[in-house]
């Protein structure tokens, strides 16, 4: 049977990682992989995570299964973190949650639920969007379309074009939105723009599916969840997929959650029952270790304060790198305006380079980024920022 299979192409980012590892150049720079890195170029285990992990392991008496819906304490703690502890949808019992295997698992659970409820649904994703949105959502059997989002010339959101498309969609269309720190562009909607979008979503009776993978790494824990809290307060239904990989540094623990906001608590119970069945068919039970750590942090005042401090430091590093990069590029590459990098948020920015320029940066300067010129800002540090700026300026100035 397996002899019939042909080898499929490598995942582009995984292939980029392999190429970087194989490069022996001492000055190589990795701006491709989407993980946070500190000033030493490392992806550290947060101190709050280490302390919480010790507490969890010291208290843990069994490794038995938790439940298909996951760690109940974690699910509830994440509801309070995402929606805010006083949000009316929580008081009304209109949120049900299921733990997922990372943000990817949460997205897939949401897609499978949509297929169960409305198998012919159209799902609109931003152009551009995170590459894995397509296989995660489309792999559930849902048809995907694109809506305009990013203006490469200005580095800003194409709000007018986005609103026009949304205002033309039929009722029940699912719109996949990035809550903050848009991947791959870093360009986010302002609060007033989210309000404008909400009015169209309400009028057209669209179904928001919001992906939040970077809460706290943009402008703040509460600010990064603004759109979710705004939409939940005024819409009967929505789905929210959340990842704990970046803000808790729990990448390999695969920790995430899908929140379902429903019009009534009864509908929420029904939706959760479907999700439990879906989870049983995909992986049966989720891993508990990362969820237990997050629950420990969010439930302990001292640990939570420590985590928020570490998260604020990560956010400040990203903001500082963006400002420094803009300053250095203004001097080294005055013929091109990279000021948009300073106005964007989170790990990523799109430089607006051609594939040929990206290839030259990789082959001539050993600087690695995805072919669409997405860079992970956290890959920069004192030791390599000037080299990156000079290399980029050289490629921009000498385009074949």
- Residues annotated as catalytic (active site), given as ranges: 130, 211, 213, 246
Tokens for 30? Answer: 């990795």
- Do you find a cis peptide bond into 128, omega within 30 degrees of 0? yes
Here the tokens at position 340 are 């948009």
Whether residue 228 contacts residue 212, with contact meaning beta carbons closer than 8 Å, is answered with: yes
Partnered with residue 100 across adjacent β-strands are 256
Residue 104 neighbours by CB distance under 10 Å = 20
């Amino acid at each position: 049977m397996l002899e019939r299979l042909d080898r499929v192409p490598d995942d582009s980012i995984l292939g980029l990682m392999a190429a970087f590892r194989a490069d022996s150049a001492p000055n190589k720079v990795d701006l491709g992989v989407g993980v946070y890195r500190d000033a030493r170029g490392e992806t550290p285990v947060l101190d709050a995570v280490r302390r919480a992990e010790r507490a969890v392991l010291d208290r843990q008496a069994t490794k038995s299964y938790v439940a298909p819906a996951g760690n109940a304490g974690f699910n509830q703690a994440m509801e309070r973190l995402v929606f805010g502890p006083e949000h009316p949808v929580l008081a009304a019992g209109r949120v049900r949650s299921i733990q997922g295997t990372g943000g990817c698992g949460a997205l897939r659970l949401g897609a499978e639920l949509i297929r169960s409820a409305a198998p012919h649904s159209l799902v609109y994703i931003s152009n551009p969007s995170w590459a894995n949105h397509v296989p995660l959502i489309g792999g559930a059997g849902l048809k995907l379309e694109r809506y305009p989002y990013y203006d490469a010339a200005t580095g800003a959101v194409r709000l007018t074009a986005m609103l026009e498309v949304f205002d033309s969609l039929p009722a029940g269309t699912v719109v996949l939105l990035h809550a903050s720190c848009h991947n791959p562009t870093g360009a986010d909607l302002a609060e007033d723009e989210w309000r404008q979008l909400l009015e169209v979503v309400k009028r057209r009776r669209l179904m928001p599916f919001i992906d939040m993978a970077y809460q706290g790494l943009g402008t703040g824990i509460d600010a990064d969840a603004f759109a979710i809290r705004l939409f939940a307060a005024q819409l009967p239904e929505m789905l929210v997929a959340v990842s704990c990989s970046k803000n808790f540094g729990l990448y390999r623990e695969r920790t995430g959650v899908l929140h379902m906001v429903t019009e009534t608590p009864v509908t929420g119970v029904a939706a959760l029952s479907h999700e439990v069945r879906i989870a049983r068919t995909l992986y049966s039970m989720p891993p508990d270790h990362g969820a237990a750590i997050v629950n420990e942090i969010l439930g302990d005042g001292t640990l939570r304060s420590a985590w928020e401090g570490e998260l604020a430091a990560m956010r400040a590093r990203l903001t500082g790198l963006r400002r420094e990069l803009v300053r250095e590029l203004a001097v080294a590459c005055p013929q091109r305006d990279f000021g948009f990098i300073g106005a964007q948020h989170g790990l990523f920015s799109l430089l607006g380079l051609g594939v040929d320029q990206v290839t030259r940066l990789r082959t001539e300067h050993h600087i690695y980024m995805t072919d669409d010129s997405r860079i992970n800002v956290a890959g920069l540090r004192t030791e390599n920022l000037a080299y990156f700026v000079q290399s980029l300026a050289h490629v921009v100035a000498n385009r074949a």
